[in-house]
Structure 1
Amino acid sequence: MKPSSRAAVAKAAATKKAAPKKPAAKKSAPEKAAVKRNGAAKPVARPAKKPGSAGGAKKATSTPKKAARGTLPARAARKRPEPAVAPASKKPVAPKPPRVPKKAVAVAAHAPEAPPRPPVARPAPRPKFKPLAPIVEFVAPPPPPPPPKPVVTLTVATRQSALAMVQTELAVAHLMQRLEGFDFRILPLVTTGDRQLEWSLEQEGGKGLFIGELESALLEGRADIAIHSAKDLPTDETAGLVLAGFLPREDPRDVLVIRKELPRPNSVATGSPRRRQQLARQFTKAVFSEIRGNVETRIRKILEGVADSTVLAQAGLNRLKIHESPGMRFQVLPLAVSVPAVGQGAVAVQCRPELAAKLAPALDEVTRRAVLLERAFLRKMGGGCHTAFAVHYDGIGVHLFHDACGYQRFSVTPEEAVQPERVAARILGELKLDV
């Protein structure tokens, strides 16, 4: 060591001894641990700076803390990091999972998906308690219905033929649907026309042959209602009886029943002068003969060869549901060829006057207006149902046939039809047929 250095060290030592002692600086926890581990280290004297420099004076007057920080043990403690000791009060921290490389992530992205987990059965929800029903005030029950009115049984007189029975059943069903408090009992009767099957209606006169027994039952009180085919009724009403009304009208046209192999009839069997005179204008070479019996009987006679053809009402065929027969052809005749009889296709309801007011609202008004207009024409002509005169009103016009003028048609509105006598007098006056 140089002499000058030794002198400086000695001088610094003397100065340190002369200076008052300061309390030792407190050591930090790392320094205390280092001292305990390495033992007490002697302080190493550092070369002092020149007295004249400001740095030297500042170093000399430094705080004990700075002086202690500059010792070698303190430096060694700072250089050697000690393991961190977790406080006793805190839980140990779990180590972080290792980072997955990017390549591993890419491979995992393309890996097959794991199968879906089966659904976990959840416990059924607990049933909810239903709220109590609100308290309803007591309501008195409705009063009992009144006792039913006593049912009045009406006796219905009719012919006993198949067609007459069907028409009577239709009339009873129609009235029962529209009237309350009534029941019906059917009384079949045999009329004079039914018994005298060999009579010629044209020679004997057919006026009243099929209604006499029915009207007698009404007048004697054995029946309350009588059901007729409207075309069988004479124009003069019987004293003490009235027409309450009519059922809805069926198809009123005539039907030619002819053998299938014949285009035109060579012979026609009919008991109606009206049909015979009209068809004679169409089939000029045909031979006409008379035939009696109901619908089935007439068809059977044509099959047996009595004649090539006969004429029947379409309304009767419809009600009996007869639309065909082996070896026969059913040909409907237009109104211009064969004008129907007055009231054809309509079913009339006859009764005593005191019952007519109850039955009339349940019957058909359109049919009543048409039939009353047709009967007004027949009354003006003074004929019955077997006169060679035919009138039919279809709601818009009157179709008329007479041997003197042939077929005629006149327009008649429904408003004009409510005055049947005036309409009949006007049309017959124009044709000069009013007698």
Structure 2
Amino acid sequence: MKLKVGSRMSRLAIRQAELIIEELQTVNPALECELVTMKTTGDRILNKTLDKIGGKGLFMKELEAALQEGKIDLAVHSLKDMPMEETKEYPILAFSEREDPRDVLVLPKGVEKWDVKKPVGCSSLRRKIQLHAMYPELEITSIRGNVLTRLEKLDKGEFGALVLAAAGLKRLGLENRISRYFEVTEILPSAGQGVLAVQGKKSLKSITDGIDHKESRWISVAERSFVRRLNGGCSSPVAAYGEIRNGICTLRGLYYNEGTGFFKVGQQSLPKEEMADVQNAVRIGMDLAEKLKNEETEK
């Protein structure tokens, strides 16, 4: 059997698709895969922030069209770039094992000390809010483009530092560029950060089942449920991160109301075995969202 696997054209997106293809062929040795790349609307419009042009769902637009037209059979996405609502026709068939979910600080090449007087390049409101909470005097400037483009701008002196996702740098073999890791208690990650999602028709689920990481699925469903309940999209300042330790799943969530300035991080826990029920995974996210909304109301 041969499958066409779709990806964005960036070096990171291609590497992520290659990782999924390698896993698919490991569990399905007779499977042939062809990588099909395409430039998306989100890749083409770089002079505006994502929230001004429709959100990160623009990174999926062409890939979903290719699925509908039969040009590809599967699409590989960074889960954090996907809208919170899945399409019924092309659901997420598999969630990869999570790579390092943390955000990191990257300095210009050859620079060892962070010059906080220079602007920091940062692409999301989620990061900006949390960075300002840590460093109130910091100047933060929006930056667009793929990881390599951003690093090039940094090294040319346009910024004093960048804040990026550790997962992307590690997958590109650029871990050596990381100057500092921000723990999840300092900067809460975007829902799904570090997870790859495989999208396609339900008829292909038997092929993707072997690469579907169950704990990653449970946690991702909970994180996305939290964001969805707060009506947050992938460009929203809402953040969520779940982890399973000692048989307990703990979900942390960040709620920010742009209108009132209310900013709160809270958490909710559930035994690991209960997370296997998708309804429970959804519920823990919804319950935490309601808890934080109620705290603002009671304030």
TM-score (norm 2): 0.88
What's the offset of the Cα at 1:357?
3.2
Match of 2:255 among 402, 410, 416: 402
Q: What is residue 248 of structure 1 aligned with on the other side?
A: 97
How large is the RMSD of aligned CA atoms in angstroms? 1.9
2:238 aligned with 1:389: yes
Deviation at 1:282, TM superposition (A): 0.4
Maintained 8 Å contact 2:96/2:211? no
Distance 1:360 1:266, change over 3 A: same
For 2:202 and 2:34, the matched residues in 1 are separated by 20
Corresponding residue SS for 1:354: helix
1:36-435 matches, within 5 Å, as 152-258=1-107, 259-262=111-114, 264=116, 266-325=118-177, 330-395=179-244, 396-403=249-256, 404-417=262-275, 418=277, 419-432=280-293
Distance 1:433 1:221 in 2: 46
8 Å contact from structure 2 (residues 266, 292) kept in 1: no
Aligned to 2:259: none
Contact 2:104 2:182 in 1 (8 A): yes
> How far is the alpha carbon of 1:432 from its aligned partner?
2.3
Name the aligned partner's letter for residue 85 of structure 2: D
Q: Report which of the two has the higher share of strand.
A: 2
Q: Is residue 24–residue 210 contact of structure 2 (8 Å, CA) maintained in 1?
A: no
Q: Call closer, same or farther: CA 1:234–1:392 in 2, change over 3 Å.
A: same
Tell whether the 8 Å contact from 2:104 to 2:179 is kept in structure 1 after alignment.
yes
Deviation of 1:219 (Å): 1.0
Q: Shift in Å at residue 425 of structure 1?
A: 2.6
Deviations 1:378-425 (A, max 9, x none): 111111111011001011311222232433233332134331222123
Change (3 A) 1:364 1:265: farther
- The letter of the residue matching 2:72 is A
| Cα deviation digits, residues 170-206 of structure 1 (max 9, x gap) | 0000010111432111101111111112222132232
The unaligned stretches of length 5 or more in structure 1 are 1-151
CA change 1:181–1:432 in 2 (3 A) is: same
Determine the C-alpha separation between the residues in 2 that align with 1:314 and 1:194.
20
Q: Which has the higher contact order (CA 8 A, sep 6+)?
A: 2
Kindly tell me: are residues 291 and 263 of structure 1, through their superposed partners in 2, closer, same or farther at Cα, counting changes over 3 Å?
Answer: closer
SS at match of 2:59: coil
Taking the aligned partners of 1:190 and 1:209, their CA distance within structure 2 comes to 11
AA at the equivalent of 1:168: A
Q: Radius of gyration: which is bigger?
A: 1
Structure 2 contact 98–196 (Cα < 8 Å) conserved: yes
Secondary structure of the corresponding residue to residue 394 of structure 1 = strand
Q: How does the TM-score come out when normalised to structure 1?
A: 0.62
What SS is found at the alignment partner of 2:99?
coil
Shift of 1:358: 3.0
Distance across 1 between alignment mates of 2:191 and 2:208: 23
Once residues 175 and 204 of structure 2 are traced to their aligned partners in structure 1, the CA distance between those partners, rounded to angstroms, is 37
CA distance in 1, matches of 2:5, 2:55: 23
